[in-house]
Amino acid sequence: MDKIQQRALNVSLVVIAVFGVLFLRLIYLQVFEYKELGSISDANSLRRVWLQPPRGRLLDRNGSIVVDNQPLYTVKVIPSEYTDSLKKSVLASLLYITPDELSERIQKGFKYNRFAPVAAGRDIEPQEMMRLSENLWRTPGVMIEVENKRKYPTEINASHIFGYLNFISKNQLEEMSEKGYTPDDKTGSKGLEKQYEDLLRGEKGVRYELVNSIGKSAGKFENGNRDRPFTNGKDLYLTLDAELQKRAEDLLKDTGKSGAIVAIDPRDGGILAMTSQPDYDLEILNGKTDGKKWMEIVRDPAKPLFNRAIQASYPPGSVYKLLLAIAALEENVITPEKKIYCSGVFRLGRGRFLCHGGEGHGPVGFQRAIIESCNTYFYNLIFDLGFERWTEYGRMFGFGEKTGIDLPGERSSPLPSVAYYDKRYGKGKWTKGYLVSLSIGQGELNTTPLQLAAFIATIANKGTWHQPHLVKGYKLNDSDSTVTFNIPKKKLPVSERTFQTVGEAMFGVVEKGTGRLAAVNNLKVAGKTGTAQNPHGKDHAWFAAFAPFEDPSIAIVVLVENAGYGGSVSAPIAGKLIDYYVNGPDTTMADTLSAETALIDSTKSEPQANDL
């Protein structure tokens, strides 16, 4: 056999072998896999179904679930399969919407991927979902998915804390598509839902299924080998006390005024309660948004979406005298024993500044100056201390900058300084008279309730500034283990003796001064009243406090807008919240009668302007 014949034989053998393998594969497919292939041949398409993970829950400091999940039924369609007007009419009637509304929703899908499912109806009632299921044969290309929406099992609103979910915007989708977001996804829009989106959202799963010509599932693809389960979102452990939060909301609502309350654990900076009034009902934005009610919230002149606790700045009034007192003691400008004479009028050049309507206190020492809130004492003190050192101590306690709380949208106002006034008014164009207002927490000085609460917490623990926070950690999936966050803190260069002296004066404010309505039976409460002048109406009422005096576990700030005097409006609210948190929910009739008696005595004996 020559070489040419040998080569021809080799080629023939290779061809025979290839056809043999193909023939054997054909027999295998026809005989052994005819059932699976039969399903595939009857099916018109392969459908990828995203599996939405349950979003992480929120639990308060006592383990109570304050935000949970519940099922949400969503009807989705494949845009490329829904171009026929008859199909649209049938589905629209089943969803109780017009064909034009359905077309508008479907059109959304064409902007991104006409083969990817797009929501045609969301938050469908279970009865409607069953009716749709029975009619799927009339609506090919339609699927019903079970997603999640939030469930709020407690009686608290906490809308500014929790926030809500909203559909992902076009700009967000462009930035976040690599994280697995699709046009129909919701993402945290406000509050903790937004701040901790990456932890709460979890990871989507996916299921592949065969679908026949009438949109009915024809079974799993490849026996589910390509499916991927979802991963739950992580549960967050909050510092919040749900019962204290409820009481804070109720007490502030009862005033009929706007305002804010912030309560902090001075031992670690954890937020125990934080409310801003007015607030809003998160159920309006849960699942399918009620458009009419949403517009009522947006157009409300009281601005319920505005978080006054972290976004609104107010003059702190006499509460800020505490900072001037700390700075003066620490810099040895004043001693607790030294007295300053108050004639009722402080003169600076041609200016005359009154102390409580011109009524003098006579010789005033440190403790009495804080207890009776003597303006003249602090008018003198800021000049003895100096403007630059006053600013320095303000910065030391975090004023003039954000606290860094784990909530989006926090704001801060500038802290007045020489540079600030030079820039605002021009060098040499402002006078020392500006310092008079600053000494009593007025003028260009503004703070948020949160900044002031962090300041009071630092006085309570004698010198450690903790960053305020709402989340202390999260739970690892499929484990009882938790990850605890490392919260920033700083030890201030101020002596314990100074904090002790200021704290004792604050105790005197509640025991016998302008803050007597914050008194709690069998508990030492330290506090400071403040009334901030408001050019647009009635004064704002402040009260700041901590308790128990010996070993503080709560620091609290109450602000009620346009309410008058802090001692008569805000102090009783703080007292009730401190009483609940430290002593528990049992309030006796004796406590109530005692508070009423204190109110009568305070109105009779204490000049209301003393907390300016």
Count of other CB atoms within 10 angstroms of residue 427: 10
| 306 vs 302: CA distance, rounded Å | 9
Rounded to whole angstroms, how far apart are CA atoms 478 and 463?
Answer: 40
**What kind and span of H or E run contains 251?**
helix 242-254
Query: Which residues partner with 58 through β-bridges?
Result: 67, 236
Q: What element of type H or E holds 594? A: helix 589-605
C-alpha 277/C-alpha 309 separation (Å) is: 9
Q: How far is the C-alpha of 465 from the C-alpha of 310, rounded, in Å?
A: 17
213 is catalytic: no
- Please report, for residues 336, 337, 393, 508, the alpha-carbon distance to residue 365 in angstroms, rounded to integers and kept in the order given: 7, 6, 22, 13
Is beta strand 351-354 parallel, antiparallel or unpaired with respect to 271-277? unpaired
Identify the burial level of 289 via C-beta atoms within 10 angstroms of its C-beta, where 0-12 means exposed, 13-18 middle and 19 or more buried. middle
Angle between helix 375-385 and 387-396 (nearest 10): 100
CB 263 within 8 A of CB 274: yes
- Which spans in 33-180 are helix H? 34-42, 85-95, 99-110, 126-134, 159-162, 170-176
Residue whose C-alpha is closest to residue 532's, from 218, 305, 265, 312: 312
* Both structure tokens of 396: 């030391």
- The conformation of residue 491, written as its DSSP 8-state character, comes to E
Catalytic residue, chosen from 159, 318, 373, 437, is 318
The two three-digit tokens of residue 270, written as one number: 């954890």
CA atoms within 13 A on the CB side of 264: 31
Residue 548 corresponds to which tokens in the numbers above? 């128990």
Locate 536 and state its tokens. Answer: 């647009």
Separation between Cα atoms, residue 76 and residue 98, nearest integer Å: 16
Residues with active-site annotation: 318
